[in-house]
Amino acid sequence: MGKFVRAGAAMSAGVAGTALLATGAPAALAASNATTAADLEHGSSSPGTRATTGVGQAVAPAFGLGKHMTESLNPTSIPADGASTSQVTADVFTFQRINGQKTRVPASCFSNVVFTSSDPGETIGATSLSGPGTYTATITASTTPGQATITAKCPVIGGTLFAHATLTQTGPMIGVIVTPSSIRADGKSTSTGTCTVTNSSGKPKPGDTVTFTSSDSGEKFSAVTDHGDGTYSVIINASKAVETATITCTDTTVDPHLSATASLTQTSGPSAVQVAVPATGSASTTAGVVGALFMALGGGLFATARRCRRLANRLPG
């Protein structure tokens, strides 16, 4: 039946997978186009063997042909506005020895590359072949901020090539601070709560409906002031509860609503006089406390009397 050798991609341009030639094929064709497994980077020595290619990519069984695929996004970050777009590109290639040099050569898939996203809200248009071994598609953003994994799948004879890229979708952001972050729980001390809102492009977002709430129902808020620069503020009046309350700022204009939280600590004020009395008092303990008080008072009076006497002695006559 004769031996089989692998044929180079130059011979099978536009055809996916590996072409096999019998040794009985025309000598000129075999001599000009055939390559061996040693000429292919990452090439498997036997059909049906998996081989790792590139960064975290794998070649499923494809008769041992060392095909590679890379994926890129332009841009890599878009607003989560349901309208912005990014172009995804998958490049399929292999390596051959040409004039003794290892050369990257475009390759092809058995059928079109299929692009998918881990974000079901994103839409991906039809894949087009924009050049030899280059497949592109347009991704339209969803309205969910975060990171989505874009996967490219390239069917080849005997398996599939995979590649992955990460698309970041930015959305409106909100933050809140309270100044000062600690006040007395006296029912009249105040703190200022300030909320900052930006749109999906990171620009200030004035004109939204922003509310403030507290986990302490005793705290009271003034009306919200929109400063016209993406910041919103309120005056928070303390309750009389000694605790740490959670202050929540919510932008109800966007859907879904955006919220941020900060902590406001309410402390008790210092007492004018603090006397520690033992829990189990006795007559001797009580006498000791009373005696100490009298000694303190008596000592003070005695000192005052001495000062008065010294002043009197200095007066003339």
What pLDDT score was predicted for residue 232?
98
What pLDDT score was predicted for residue 152?
97
What pLDDT score was predicted for residue 220?
97
User: What domains are there in the chain, each with its CATH number?
Assistant: 4-170 (2.60.40.10), 173-267 (2.60.40.10)
∠ CA 50-51-57, nearest 5°, is 105
What pLDDT score was predicted for residue 156?
87
- Average pLDDT (272-297) is 42
What pLDDT score was predicted for residue 304?
55
The answer to whether 10 touches 96, Cβ cutoff 8 Å, is yes
pLDDT above 70 coverage of the chain, percent: 64
Integer CA distances (angstroms), 259 to 24, 70, 81, 222, in order:
74, 39, 18, 19
pLDDT averaged over every residue in the chain: 74
- Average pLDDT (293-302) is 48
- Average pLDDT (166-183) is 94
pLDDT in tens, 94-144: 998 888 888 999 999 988 999 999 999 999 999 999 999 999 999 999 988
What pLDDT score was predicted for residue 121?
96
Q: Note if the pTM is more than 0.75.
A: no
What pLDDT score was predicted for residue 297?
47
What pLDDT score was predicted for residue 137?
98
- Average pLDDT (262-269) is 93
pLDDT above 90 coverage of the chain, percent: 52
